[in-house]
Amino acid sequence: MLNPWRLRLLHQLHLLGTVRAVAEAAHMSPSSVSQQLATLETEAKAQLFERVGRRIRLTPSGVTLAGHASDILDRIAAAEADLAGLHSEATGVVRLAGFTSAFHGIIVPAVAALAQEHPRIQVELTEAEPLVSRPALQRGEVDIAVCADFPDAPVPPDADLTRLPLTGDRVVLVTARETAAAERTGRVDLATLADEPWAFEHPGAHLADLAERLCRRAGFTPRTVARFESHGTLLGHVEAGLSVTLLPLLAVHDRYAVRTLDLIDPPRRDIHLIARRTTMDRAAVRVVVDALRHQARSA
């Protein structure tokens, strides 16, 4: 009989590549992980691993079993949730990851509504950008991920994942309310803002790289006066009249005294959720998905 817990370790080894990485993810010692994988190999009655130098890698049999492991684990979770909620409402824990700017406009209002309408569903939230949340979804660490991508950086499809649209979003110019830039009317030509002080996220963040590319495409290198980790501190800097910036509209919280102005031909991003196909069999997951889609339509 194959042990589901050991199957999870095998699945993580297939995704993460090393026993040490699996040990860190599972909060175990590498030797304990190796012992459990060896036991799984005995249970499977097949050679699942082969040694390459100081590392091990999956044999074709190991890859085959790892491919089934995610489905098996999701089916077990679905069965447990169905049994727990038999003759009752949807119940259980649903793990949801989402990128920063989706929280105040979509995720938090949806979870607040769920707390009132489905009190037996517990939603565990993790703030994570798509580059982090999508692999976490594939590893089985979260059940749903709210993601976004731009046409210049599309995410390749995955046959094991369900992708459902939520809403669209566009990049806008953000200024303080009491500045010359805020007095503009109509759509903004970025070339006219070449002399403004600019603030962005740190280099490497997709939105920061996109914003700086847009400025260069308009014919200038932005005079960057500040870099920030979070949208909140970035918007606070803009609110104080110290800079202007470019952000997706969803990232601009209305608690900041800033003004948003549309650009000529603004980049648009697609906001969607993804979930493993087998996870969608769980009633609680479907309820959370429906709540997210309803909130996105009304946002």
Tens-digit pLDDT profile for residues 71-80: 788 778 777 7
Q: Is the pLDDT of residue 87 over 60?
A: no
Which pLDDT score, from 0 to 100, does residue 110 have?
96
Tokens (6 digits) for 205: 């963040």
Q: Provide the Cα torsion 11, 280, 299, 177; round to 10°.
A: 0
Half-sphere CA count of 184, side-chain side, radius 13 A: 19
Tokens of 88: 């009752």
d(CA 160, CA 278): 8
pLDDT, average across residues 245-266: 91
Confidence tier at 183 by pLDDT (50, 70, 90)? low
Q: Which residues pair with 144 in a beta bridge?
A: 96, 275
- Evaluate whether 3 touches 43 at the Cβ level (below 8 Å): yes
Q: Is the pLDDT of residue 150 over 80?
A: no
Amino acid type, 197: P
Q: What is the pLDDT of residue 84?
A: 64
CB 189 within 8 Å of CB 264: yes
> Which residue type sits at 172?
V
**What type of residue sits at position 276?**
R
Cα gap 81→91, rounded to integer Å: 7
Indicate if the pLDDT at residue 91 is higher than 80: yes
Report the range of poorest mean pLDDT among 175-189, 216-230, 262-276: 175-189
Question: Which residues are within 8 A (CB) of 293 and not within 5 positions of it... i.e. 6 or more apart?
Answer: 164, 166, 273
The span from the CA of 96 to the CA of 94, in Å, is 6
Place 26 in a pLDDT band, splitting at 50, 70 and 90: confident
Q: φ, ψ for residue 50 (rounded to 5)?
A: -140, 145
Instruction: Give mean pLDDT, residues 128-148.
Output: 90
Rounded CA-CA distance 74/245 in Å is 42
If you average pLDDT over every residue of the chain, what do you get?
87
Q: How far apart are CA 297 and CA 299, in angstroms?
A: 6
Asked if residue 15 has pLDDT above 50, the reply is: yes
End-to-end CA distance of the chain: give it in Å, rounded.
49
Place of tokens 């005079």: 223
At 103-119, the pLDDT tens digits run 988 999 999 999 999 99
Helix and strand element counts for the chain (H, E): 10, 11
| Cα 41 from chain centre | 34
Our CA angle for 125, 126, 129, nearest 5°, is 135
pLDDT score at 70: 77
pLDDT tens sequence across 38-71: 998 888 888 888 888 878 889 898 888 888 887 7
* pTM, 2 dp: 0.68
Amino acid 180: pLDDT: 63
The pair of structure tokens assigned to 51 is 């040694």
With cut-offs at 50, 70 and 90, classify the pLDDT of residue 152. Answer: low
pLDDT band at 131; cut points 50, 70, 90: confident
Q: Which residue has the tokens 């995720």?
A: 107
- 282: number of Cβ within 10 Å: 25
